[in-house]
């Protein structure tokens, strides 16, 4: 089996810490009333690199499914227990290649530098590498030469993809170190800052009372000067 190369623990810890601190910084900003941090757009070079890795991975996965389907484990020159165990392993690998792997690739395509999706895909590649490697070893020991050759080629493609993706994650961790330091400082500063005082609503109750409206005084009409009617004559 090919040598296994894993991501250094320091790089993994850096990415894990960054993933944990990013929501904390955003929450601290929201609680203090400051604006949230807007994530910068992903660089074209990063997207282009990821597309190349994923294209190679999809081609390898397709070849793995085809070659596993052509492998006649029931004809291998070994005991029944080894055949049953290998068949169960192959079924697990095929389910992963048909369901879990495409789903993770789609998530990463939607967010090329998402830490959660990156870890999920890398863990999946590690599991596939380990399980598929056991099938390749058994094919070399008990299967035909053609089966072993085909599966070995797939193993080389899987190892190449896993190594390329591991190197990408190392570069991603290095590029995030400055952001990690900034987020730590930001969280510390925002956590120590006193909360903003509540807004006060001032009601002005010193406004003078309105003066009552003046009533209009009606002047009496002057007496008329017309002479009274003459008295009727006495009878």
Structural domain containing residue 97: 43-178
Q: Is the pLDDT of residue 114 over 50?
A: yes
- In a domain, residue 110? The reply is yes
pTM comes to 0.64
- In a domain, residue 9? The reply is no
Whole-angstrom distance, CA of residue 125 vs CA of residue 204: 69
- In a domain, residue 19? The reply is no
Number of domains in the chain: 1
Average pLDDT over residues 186-190: 82
Return the closest-CA partner of residue 172 out of 47, 25, 27: 47
Q: Is the pLDDT of residue 4 over 50?
A: no
CATH of the domain at 71: 1.20.120.230
Return the closest-CA partner of residue 128 out of 99, 100, 156, 93: 93
pLDDT at 210: 65
Q: Is the pLDDT of residue 203 over 80?
A: no
Q: Is the pLDDT of residue 21 over 90?
A: no
Tell me the two tokens of residue 44: 């074209």
> Which residues have CB under 8 Å from 31's CB, separation 6+?
190, 195
Average pLDDT over residues 73-83: 95
Burial of residue 106 (number of CB atoms within 10 Å: 0-12, 13-18, 19+): exposed
Confidence of residue 39 (pLDDT cuts 50, 70, 90): low
Choice among 79-88, 115-124, 127-136 with the minimum mean pLDDT: 115-124
- In a domain, residue 5? The reply is no
pLDDT at 2: 41
The percent of residues in the chain predicted with pLDDT above 90, rounded, is: 50
- In a domain, residue 59? The reply is yes
Dihedral, CA atoms, 142, 147, 149, 151, nearest 10 degrees?
-100
- In a domain, residue 105? The reply is yes
Mean pLDDT for the chain overall = 79
Q: Is the pLDDT of residue 96 over 90?
A: yes
Average pLDDT over residues 14-29: 49
Tell me the two tokens of residue 155: 């193993």
| Highest-scoring range by mean pLDDT, 9-18, 142-151, 168-177, 225-234 | 142-151
pLDDT at 217: 63
Question: Tokens 């009409």, residue?
Answer: 221
Count helices and strands (H / E) in the chain: 7, 0
| Highest-scoring range by mean pLDDT, 7-21, 115-129, 173-187 | 115-129
Average pLDDT over residues 9-13: 53
Q: Is the pLDDT of residue 76 over 60?
A: yes
Q: Residue 40: helix, strand or coil by DSSP?
A: coil
- In a domain, residue 26? The reply is no
- In a domain, residue 113? The reply is yes
């Amino acid at each position: 089996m090919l040598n296994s190369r894993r991501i250094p623990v320091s790089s993994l810890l850096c990415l894990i810490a960054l993933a944990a601190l990013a929501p904390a910084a955003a929450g601290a900003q929201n609680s203090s009333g400051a604006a949230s941090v807007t994530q910068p757009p992903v660089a074209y070079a990063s997207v282009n690199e990821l597309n190349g890795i994923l294209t190679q991975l999809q081609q390898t996965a397709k070849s793995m499914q085809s070659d596993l389907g052509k492998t006649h484990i029931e004809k291998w020159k070994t005991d029944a227990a080894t055949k049953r165990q290998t068949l169960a392993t192959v079924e697990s690998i095929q389910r992963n290649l048909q369901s879990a792997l495409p789903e993770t690739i789609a998530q990463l395509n939607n967010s090329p530098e998402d830490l959660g999706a990156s870890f999920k895909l890398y863990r999946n590649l590690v599991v596939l590498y380990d399980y598929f490697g056991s099938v390749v070893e058994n094919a070399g020991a008990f299967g035909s030469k053609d089966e072993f050759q085909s599966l070995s080629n797939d193993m080389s493609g899987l190892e190449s993809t896993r190594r390329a993706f591991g190197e990408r994650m190392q570069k991603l961790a290095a590029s995030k170190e400055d952001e990690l330091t900034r987020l730590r400082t930001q969280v510390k500063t925002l956590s120590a800052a006193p909360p903003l005082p509540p807004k006060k609503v001032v009601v002005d109750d010193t406004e003078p009372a309105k003066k009552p409206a003046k009533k209009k005084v009606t002047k009496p009409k002057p007496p008329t000067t017309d002479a009274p009617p003459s008295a009727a004559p006495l009878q």
